[in-house]
Structure 1
Amino acid sequence: MVALAALVVAAGTARLGVWQLDRAAQKRALQAALDTRAAAAPLPQAELATDRVAAAEQHQRRILLQGRWLPERSVFLDNRQMDGRPGFFVLTPLQLEPVPRAAAPGSVIWVQRGWVPRDNDVRTRLPAVPTPPGAVQVAGRVAPPPARLYQFAADAEGPIRQNLDLDESARSLGRPVLPLTVVQVEAPPGGDGLRRDWPAPAADVQKHLGYAFQWFALCALVLLLYVWFQLIRPRRRRPPAD
């Protein structure tokens, strides 16, 4: 009975270790795809995806957008950190200029413009972020929306939000919103006071390798304990024959 239990546990932990190695291989492939996209030629604005499946294939592509800011609809995502400091991610919708062959002319795309620290005295006091009027060009890379944080209730109407919902923003703006965002990588002429120390996209391969090591180590420990307590120790304690 003990042997069967040890065998089941060892087989289960070994299988989990193999599964984590498989996940690591998948993440390596994903990281290679991200690196390839980042090194590719800039994506033409007319080829921006209009559905979520196609959008995922464009993440990390470089792009130069042409459009007009909608600064009155800017959103400040709360509880976002940079270098361990609390602050806001500043996102502003950009009304795209019509371009030839565009899949959805006149659409809006959310731009992750940068990070700004929170006021230590008045938590809800927002900084003034200079936003150029008229037609602008925005250099960046295609990205998914910022990671969602846990929230206890639906966000109230207003500039400070916990998360950004693209579908809800389309209803609020009254315009079609593309199912992706663009991370701005260059400050506009004259600056805007925002930090853009965006972390490089990573697929967390090392995390899965660490989990695999833990499962394989547990498998080896179960087998060693079984061999010690069921085979070696009883023989060591057996009295010698006369």
Structure 2
Amino acid sequence: MDEWLTLFDGIAENTSPYNAGVVLKVTKRALGWCMRRELINPPSVMNLEVSTIGTSKSQRDRVLELHEVGLIWMAIENTKLSLAVRNCIKLIMLTGARNSEAREAKWKEFDFDNRIWTVSKERSKTGVAIRRPLTDDMLQLVNTMKSAPSPNYVFGSMDNDFKKPITTHAIQRAVRRLRAKLNMEEWRVHDFRRTLATRLSEQGVQPHVVEKMLGHSLGGVLAIYNRHDWINEQREAYDAWYQLVIQAAEAAARRITEDQQTS
């Protein structure tokens, strides 16, 4: 089953969760034909549901409520996931970076003196380098990984002697474990991007700043003439987002304690 999950997780990351769901449906139809003619025994992929690896809709619109963000942060804090997987998911949540941008982050991309993380244009989905400021909390996450013996990647995989980054399957598997512990509507790491954008917009952060935080290319005149990354404005927005996350996590912890005391 792990091989199938790795395959579909890769499709979801490299294209979209919708495409992963479509490929699963087609695969199951083809294998079902073979089973009906007794050409093969039932393979494990027949037990996979679209909701496990993708989506049946071409576009997701899931925006997490702040209390849900707090519960997820608490679940990450209390999980037994590896340090690399745990901190990678946290960095995705705090920065709004894409899964691959965080997973495959290299030490050379981090300017610790100027506190800037630069995703090269080769790794950027838009083909343009992405510059994000590093807040104190992001720096702490990244610096914690210096104890792992990975020469190139911040989130090196133990399965490959730290010579390669952790896989998208490792992230998706961790998310499935976290989801199983939480009583809430289905969510994915990509939903953190939409959630960050929505909640910061509600706080009055300007759209062009949010777009830069997400690593999007700006349209119109801005795309042609403006090469400014609004680093200071991004930093202020990231600090505000971290406070929202931590406050939500603290509120979640209080509710859990109160429920335990009354039960």
Higher relative contact order (CA 8 A, sep 6+): 1
Answer yes or no: same fold by TM over 0.5: no
Q: TM-score, normalised by structure 2?
A: 0.22
Higher percent of residues as strand: 1
TM-score by length of 1: 0.24
Please tell me whether Structure 1 or Structure 2 has the larger radius of gyration of its CA atoms. 1
Determine which structure has the larger helix proportion and give its number: 2
